[in-house]
Amino acid sequence: MKQSKAANKEIVIHGVIGDGVLMDLHTHGLDKYNHPEFQVFAPSIYRVSAVRLLNSLAEAIINKDEKFKANENCEWGEWGIFTFTEYEKGILSIIPILPECDCCKDGKHGEE
Least confident of 26-40, 73-87, 95-109: 95-109
Residue 3 above 60 pLDDT?
A: no
Which of 6-20, 64-78, 97-111 is the most confident on average?
64-78
pLDDT at residue 106 above 70?
no
Supply the pLDDT for residue 1: 41
Query: Measured on CA atoms in the order 100, 76, 39, 67, is the torsion positive or negative?
Result: negative
pLDDT of 66 > 80? The answer is yes
What are residue 40's DSSP bridge partners?
Answer: 25
Per-residue pLDDT reduced to its tens digit, 21-65:
889 999 999 999 999 999 999 998 999 999 999 999 999 999 999
- Among the residue ranges 11-20, 39-48, 75-84, 95-104, the one predicted with the least confidence is 95-104
For 2, residues 6+ apart whose C-beta sits below 8 A from its C-beta are 63
